Amino acid sequence: MTDAETPVPVNPLPADLKVDEVVVLDFGGQYSQLIARRVRECGVFSELLPHHVGPEEVARRKPKGIILSGGPASVYSPDAPPLDPRLLELGVPVLGICYGMQLLAKELGGRVESAEVGEYGRSQLTVTEHGTLLKGQPDDQPAWMSHRDTVFTPPTGAVALASSTSSPVAAFESVERGIYGIQYHPEVVHTPYGQQTLQTFLRDVCHCSLDWSAANIADEQIRLIREQVGDGKVICGLSGGVDSSVAALLVHQAVGDQLTCVYVDHGLMRKNETEQVEKTFGEHFKVPLVVVDAKQRFLERLRGLTEPEAKRKAIGNEFIRIFEEEALKLAVGGGTEVEGAETKTFGDVHADEPAPEGAKFLVQGTLYSDVIESGGGTGAATIKSHHNVGGLPDDMTFALVEPLRALFKDEVRAVGTEIGLPERMVWRQPFPGPGLGIRIVGGEITQEKLDTLRECDAILQEEIRAAGLYRDLWQSFCVLPDVRTVGVQGDKRTYGYVVAIRAVTSDDAMTADWARLPYELLDKVAGRMVGEVREVNRVVLDITSKPPGTIEWE
């Protein structure tokens, strides 16, 4: 996709919502998303937009400042992403980081050249003039760099504030012209005064009020959902994970029983997960909830399948079909029974009556990182149903309700806490859609194996929580290979299952390291598994990082 074809994200916040915003323009840097997150951590709403969106699009946000991100290009390369000079005429301060700084220097009369030696990683910054941007910071400080091009002379009228080993000008500012530049990356943890620099820029240069937080816009989101939905009916597929849970609760707080949630229990869930969803949503929050017990149907569908992708496909397709059947009932009223599945309803569910007004809206837990990664999309999209929940009549359209579109994952957790979602759900580790189905490996999925795996998994989670490590781990779970080994228990020979423990730390699941769980914890977990779960007589630990391994075994 060329730059021009990349869709421009729609502002995820309503135009009439009065919050200070700073726009981060993405020039392709590795840490651009992180800059937007750090700005939000300072208390200022921030959007990441592709660098080419143009000044009109930026101006529409009425930003109080603009940040130009880093990027891999050299400002002198013929295909280097350029800086539109009209951005500098919007009357708001501009902070360039790394490539962004070099662009400012080149555009405004400074001198940028390729240095003899690049600077990659930890570097030492010497502050020669604190100015506004580096006010209150030490003269010498570590800073994270990643560049070869270097600013040798700051833009006309700007003052050089700092230098580093290979950067004669590692920071500059011109208060008069409203331009600021830093060669280093303030957004990474290896730059200890980076967050302070960003905060100074936001507070003292852009005069932002630093009072934005995801949690305190929950009320606004609720107002927006009300406006969008009116008195229409809404459907939400609940998975038990944090995103769909928070999205559903927000919508329920906005429009009450106009929302019906559908939870499909495919029997591949963790222990007590279905009960927890029923208890939290059906009983506690009193959200109209349809729980579809499709355990047998899935088991039958999975019979004989061992190949990972075949299992994934079978589970995914079956899931969509069941969800559609339920959604259809709710959307048009009446409808056919879901074959081979039993439904249990909580609250005021009107699926059996012909509904003159069917559900028009579908809730999705889309996050801001999804919005960025998919290149934007249009928030107001009315999608053809078959693009989303295939199989519904072609002329049936759902409008999407996406109350988390503006939020990063950690912000979704903050909102979840704010609106009263139990801690256990807010902090739940990620769990794959195909669930335990891709953790029974090498053999057929059976009820016995599912029960064995579920019990072992529950023991692991319980002990990890008791040791206070649950939130430190990206994921922790068990895997059940189709292997039996010989053991001796109670003076008798056994021939039981091997269970593998997989626990990893990670920031984003793209890479992961195996977690160094304490020996005492591992010992306790293994002892409990072989003691309490009859079919298990051996426990092993997976010590592979990603890459070369993946987090899941399949």
> Which active-site residues does the annotation give?
98, 185, 187
**Binding mask of the shown chain, residues 426 to 465, with x at each position contacting ligand XMP by CB under 6 A:** ----x-xxx-------------------------------
Q: Contact at 8 Å (CB) between 54 and 3?
A: no
* Angstrom distance (rounded) from CA 40 to CA 314: 41
Name the residue with tokens 């439904």. 343
- Residue closer to ligand XMP (CB basis): 298 or 361: 298
Lookup: tokens for 236: 């939400």
Window 312-351: residues binding ligand XMP (CB under 6 A): 312
Q: How far apart are CA 149 and CA 118, in angstroms?
A: 7
Nearest distance from C-beta of residue 554 to ligand XMP, angstroms? 8
The binding track of 189-228 with respect to ligand XMP, each residue x by CB under 6 A or -, is: ----------------------------------------
Smallest distance, Å, CB 139 to ligand XMP? 44
The DSSP call for residue 459 is H
In the complex, least distance from residue 170 CB atom to ligand XMP, rounded to whole angstroms? 37
Which helix or strand (DSSP H or E) is residue 397 part of? Answer: strand 397-401
Per-residue burial over 91-122, b if 16 or more Cβ lie within 10 Å, else e, is ebbbbbbbbbbbbbbbbbebebeebeeebeee
Q: Whole-number minimum distance, CB 241 to ligand XMP, in Å?
A: 9
Q: What is the number of other CB atoms lying within 10 angstroms of the CB of residue 309?
A: 10
- Closer to ligand XMP at the Cβ: 529 or 551? 551
**SS3 of residue 365 by DSSP:** coil
Residues in contact with ligand XMP, shown as a per-residue x/- string from 286 to 315 under the rule CB under 6 A: --------------------------x---
Query: Which CB sits closer to ligand XMP, 158 or 499?
Result: 499
Q: How far apart are CB 273 and ligand XMP at their closest, in Å?
A: 15
Query: Nearer Cβ to ligand XMP, position 258 or 461?
Result: 461
551 binds ligand XMP, rule: CB under 6 A: yes
Q: Which is nearer to ligand XMP, 475 or 494 (CB)?
A: 475
The tokens for 526 are 């293994």
Site size with ligand XMP, rule: CB under 6 A: 11
Closest separation between CB of residue 438 and ligand XMP, Å? 6
Q: Which of residues 492-511 bind ligand XMP (CB under 6 A)?
A: 509
What is the DSSP code string of 16-32? T----EEEEEESS-TTH
Exposure class string for 383-396: b at 16+ Cβ within 10 A, else e: eebeebbeebeeeb
- For ligand XMP, the closer of residues 333 and 433 by Cβ is 433
Put residue 442 in one of left, alpha, beta given phi > 0 → left and psi -120 to 50 → alpha.
left
Binding site for ligand XMP (CB under 6 A): 312, 430, 432-434, 475, 509, 546, 550-552
